[in-house]
Amino acid sequence: EHKVAKRSANWQVNYKNTLDNAEWDQIKAEIQPIINQGFGPLLVRLSWHDAGTYDAASNTGGPHATMRFAPVANYEANNGLGSARNMLAPIKSRHPGISYADLWSFAGAVAVSNIGGPTIQWRPGRNDAVDSSDSLTPDGRLPDADLGAAHLRSIFYRMGFGDREIVALSGGHNLGATHLGNSGYDGLWTSNPGSFGNEFFTRLNNDFFSNYQTETLSSGKTQYHDSSNKMMLPTDVSLIQDPSFTGFVQTYASDKNAFYGDFKAAFQRLQELGVGGGLGSPVETRFGVPTTGHD
Ligand code: DDH
């Protein structure tokens, strides 16, 4: 039998959520200007890269703010996320009762919920990992954009997701951009990168191979682009090269509500991977809507 080392009992800071509704609303109000300045997609990516390190078999990784520490902060997949962590740091200073892990996760959920995406149900209770070898995950737990469907399955099945959730979560690429200096890729996926939607799927589903061509960038990476310079990563394109994935791409291209429902559920699950029973009741993620009923 394959044995995986379990993390020790004291691998994380013992964190007890003590924030009241008013303080949650204040934290949300302090995240709002960051999102209004256009950094919502970056916050979504930060929250996903923290949570997406989870390994169900060993119950290691997950959303515990390990990116505060080397070597995790310096993994190539995390290039560019230091600025997101820096933007959120003053909020943590003003509200020491929130864990970094909850703050990063909440910021991602608040971003999705206020830039045109589904309203994410979000619950607090993530502990912060300490800087020790049994809480910091090895490199290679996040997807490599150069690879294909088999790689996506090995990465996301490891977290406990299935094919439908792989495709739904990949719809995060309706938002934001790739940056040559961060990842070696360059460009926008959609015509409205500051706003959530299902254009990522309509582009893949609408005669993709006639509209897009491969290009090799100065970084040596290969990506796809169309005549308006919208791009796709090789892993994005694998979603229409694999028959199981392709069925979900077709559904999400023709039915935005189906995509929103699946993304909402999968994103909440992603943000709660391995967190277990320590979660509190939901905090309101929409701007201008106060939290009520949170204990
Ligand atoms: Fe992603 N993503 N991601 N991604 N991602 C990048 C940017 C953004 C992959 C690679 C990249 C998800 C899945 C995958 C967002 C959300 C999500 C970049 C560019 C690369 C490369 C970084 C840079 O150069 O700055 C790969 C590979 C996968 C995969 O195959 C599954 C998921 C699941 C999500 C999500 O939202 C749940 C967002 C948002 C961005 C844009 C960030 C920005 O600065 O803008």
On whether both 135 and 182 belong to a single domain, the answer is no
| Complete DSSP assignment for 22-35 | HHHHHHHHHHHHHI
State which amino acid sits at residue 19. L
Asked if residue 171 has its Cβ within 6 Å of ligand 1, the reply is no
Segment 33-67, tens digit of pLDDT:
999 999 999 999 999 999 999 999 999 999 999 99
- Concerning whether 49 is annotated as a catalytic residue, the answer is yes
Using a 10 angstrom Cβ sphere, with 0-12 exposed, 13-18 middle and 19 or more buried, the burial of residue 174 is: buried
Q: Find the mean pLDDT for residues 198-220.
A: 98
Q: What is the pLDDT of residue 2?
A: 34
Given the residues 24, 48, 49, 104, select the one marked as catalytic.
49
Is there a single domain that holds both residue 35 and residue 127?
A: yes
Closest residue by Cα to atom 22, ligand 1, is: 178
Question: 110 and 98, same structural domain?
Answer: yes
Asked, for residue 29, whether it belongs to a domain, the answer is: yes
Confidence class of residue 201 from pLDDT cuts 50, 70 and 90?
very high
Higher pLDDT, 133 or 90: 90
Does residue 197 share a domain with residue 273? no
Asked whether the predicted pLDDT for residue 241 surpasses 80, the reply is: yes
Residues 201 and 57 in one domain: no
Q: Tell whether 15 is covered by a domain.
A: no
pLDDT at position 293 is 66
> 16 in a domain, yes or no?
no
What is the distance between the alpha carbons of residues 47 and 34, in angstroms, rounded to a whole number?
15
Give the CA count within 13 Å in the CB-facing half-sphere of 251: 19
Specify the pTM.
0.96
Q: Is residue 130 part of a domain?
A: yes
81 in the same domain as 56: yes
The verdict on 96 and 156 lying in the same domain is no
Q: Does residue 197 have its Cβ closer than 6 Å to ligand 1?
A: no
How far apart are the CA of 14 and the centre of ligand 1, in A?
31
Q: Specify if 61 maps to a domain.
A: yes
* SS3 of residue 218 by DSSP: coil
In this prediction, residue 213 carries a pLDDT of 98
Is there a domain that residue 258 lies in?
yes
In a domain, 222, yes or no: yes
Mean per-residue pLDDT, 179-193? 98
Say whether both 274 and 235 belong to one domain: no
Residues 112 and 212 in one domain: no
The interface predicted TM-score of the complex, written ipTM, equals 0.99
C-alpha to C-alpha distance for 48 and 51, rounded to whole angstroms:
5
The CATH number of whichever domain residue 239 belongs to comes to 1.10.420.10
The whole-number average pLDDT for the span 194-208 is 98
Overall number of domains in the chain = 2
151 catalytic? Reply is no
> Does residue 170 have its Cβ closer than 6 Å to ligand 1?
yes
CB-ligand 1 contact for 175 (6 Å cutoff): yes
Residue ID of nearest Cα to ligand 1 atom 8: 45
On the question of pLDDT at 5 being above 50, the answer is no
211 is in which domain, residue-wise? Answer: 149-263
Q: Are residues 104 and 133 in the same domain?
A: yes
Check which CATH number belongs to the domain holding 108 and give it.
1.10.520.10
Average pLDDT, the chain: 94
Residues 118 and 52 both lie in one domain:
yes
Q: Are residues 114 and 209 in the same domain?
A: no
* Probe residue for ligand 1, chosen from 46, 142, 178 as the CB with the greatest number of ligand atoms within 8 Å: 178
* Domain contains 285: no
Among the listed ranges 83-87, 126-130, 168-172, which one has the minimum average pLDDT value?
126-130
